[in-house]
Amino acid sequence: MATSSTSLEDVPSLDIMTELLRRFKCSSKPDKRLILIGPPGSGKGTQSPIIKDEYCLCHLATGDMLRAAVAAKTPLGIKAKETMEKGELVSDDLVVGIIDEAMKKPSCQKGFILDGFPRTVAQAEKLDEMLEKQRTKIDKVLDFAIDDSILEERITGRWIHASSGRTYHTNFALVTGEPLMQRKDDTAEVLKSRLQAFHRQTEPVIDYYKKKGVVAKLHAENPPKEVTVEISRKKSAIAGNDHDEIIVDAAMIKAPQMVTSATAFPTLDGFGKSPVEMASNNTFLVNAPSLDIMTEFKCSSKPHKRIIFIGPPGSGKGTQSLIIKEKYGLCHLATGDILRAVVAAKTPLGIKIKENMEKPLIQRKDDTAEVLKLRLEVFHRQTEPVIEYYKKKGVVAKIPAENPPNEVTAEVLKVLLS
């Protein structure tokens, strides 16, 4: 089964199926590495989720990446934390290194959107150097061009849904039932300072990439839906394939319906939706290796089983339980493992168990004739009646456990399939 630190076994089957279908649809998308450049309030935050989900890209925001690297205590994250704790700015080399790390996640397999970086030509050059070492490059830079005079109204009327990052405006969208907040820097005074920095430092980045012939200019002063349509019309900016037809449906860009063998499942919930509609909110699942997801997915078609293994020590329960667990996608509940887990988690029961376990006990010496004799006596006296208990319920299957393991496995499978 999955070997990730967070187990795929605990992810709902519907989420796994949805993620598999999303990856299947994403497999036909072109690999793209995009940069979104524009002043504050130009609409990058509105358009980036649409582009990200429709083209199966990952969204690399430098602030989020820095926090994630620090939290994960990666070597670069440790360096970044030391720098920030000194009150210093994180170096361009360090930020580019963290971008390099983030690009290797499965969610970035089809490419990425960079938002908020590069802000200077020096940063752009360092980014290009790193990409060149990986034998790749920036495919397109989307220039969100807009006049400064329009931005003040946009910025001062902007409200944010904190948990999702969605942005709303008093002139364009009214939302009820959701707590919204306004950023402290969304004021006319702060905007003026930020625009000065943008024109001085970041506009030259657009000229830098214009020389490379990869800039696509957008009319960012238009309403969001029209900007989305413009992006879709500039299909060379994203799709990179003159034969790809893109259909614009309201504010959502949808790729044409694919006709594949998967249409054998026409009633499957999720199929026929665009990747933006199918995208998972589970960060762990999105970044899980495809092989692990496919392995876990195989278990979704298995019948539900609840099985008890009973037998004396050495009867082969340990050997067979692992085989049955993997074959039928079951969880293996071993009391010893469960006890250790609740003790480690310091649950109320775990604390009580730990207190009992810490009392002085006589340590047994396993696998000796004397100990085995005692354990068999306990088994016959205490556990064999459990078999009789379940026999009355008609659910006991007797397995000739003296046979070789492979013959026992065949017998177990025969019982389970009957």
Which residue out of 67, 105, 166, 194 is catalytically annotated? 194
Active-site residue, 194 included? yes
List the domain boundaries for the chain: 8-295, 317-329+363-417
Which residue out of 67, 81, 105, 119 is catalytically annotated? 119
d(CA 144, CA 146): 6
Q: What is the pLDDT, as a whole number, of residue 342?
A: 80
Active-site residue, 166 included? no
d(CA 399, CA 61): 58
Q: Determine if residue 91 is left, alpha or beta; phi over 0 gives left, psi from -120 to 50 gives alpha, anything else beta.
A: beta
Do the beta carbons of residue 396 and residue 390 sit within 8 Å?
A: yes
Most distant CA pair in the chain: distance in Å?
A: 90
CA distances from 268 to 273, 300, 360 (A): 11, 14, 57
Active-site residue, 158 included? yes
Determine the residue type at 232.
Answer: S
Which residue out of 183, 235, 254, 354 is catalytically annotated? 183
CA distances from 154 to 28, 43, 142, 214, 223 (A): 37, 9, 20, 28, 11
Q: What is the pLDDT, as a whole number, of residue 409?
A: 83
Q: Please, how many CA atoms are within 13 Å of residue 246, restricted to the half-sphere of its CB?
A: 24
Determine the residue type at 187.
Answer: T
SS3 per residue for the chain: CCCCCCCHHHCCHHHHHHHHHHHHHHCCCCCEEEEEECCCCCCHHHHHHHHHHHCCCEEEEHHHHHHHHHHHCCHHHHHHHHHHHCCCCCCHHHHHHHHHHHHCCHHHCCEEEEECCCCCHHHHHHHHHHHHHCCCCCCEEEEEECCHHHHHHHHHCEEECCCCCCEEECCCCCCCCCCCECCCCCCHHHHHHHHHHHHHHHHHHHHHHHCCCCEEEEECCCCHHHHHHHHHHCHHHHCCCCCCCCEEECCEEECCCCCCHHHHCCCCCCCCCCHHHHCCCCHHHHCCCHHHHHHHHHHHHCCCCCCCCCCCCCCCHHHHHHHHHHHHCCCCCCHHHHHHHHHHHCCHHHHHHHHHHCCCCCCCCCCCHHHHHHHHHHHHHHHHHHHHHHHCCCCCCCCCCCCCHHHHHHHHHHHHHC
Which residue out of 22, 44, 52, 110 is catalytically annotated? 44
d(CA 144, CA 158): 17
Rg from Cα positions in the chain: 29
User: Would you give per-residue pLDDT tens digits along the chain (418 residues)?
Assistant: 444 445 656 666 666 666 667 677 777 778 889 999 999 888 888 888 888 888 888 888 887 788 888 888 888 888 888 887 777 778 888 889 988 888 888 788 889 999 888 989 999 999 999 999 989 999 999 999 999 888 877 777 777 776 666 666 666 655 556 777 777 766 777 888 888 888 999 999 999 999 999 999 999 999 888 998 888 777 555 555 433 333 333 333 333 333 333 333 333 333 344 444 445 555 555 555 555 555 555 555 566 777 888 888 788 887 888 887 777 667 777 777 778 888 888 888 878 878 777 765 555 455 677 888 888 888 889 888 988 898 898 888 888 888 888 888 888 878 777 6
Q: In the structure encoding, which two tokens stand for residue 195, read together? A: 């625009």
Supply angle C-alpha 14, 20, 26, rounded to 5.
135
Q: Does domain 8-295 have CATH number 2.30.30.40?
A: no
Q: What is the pLDDT, as a whole number, of residue 173?
A: 57
Q: What is the pLDDT, as a whole number, of residue 35?
A: 93
Supply angle C-alpha 236, 238, 241, rounded to 5.
50
d(CA 160, CA 183): 8
d(CA 130, CA 128): 5
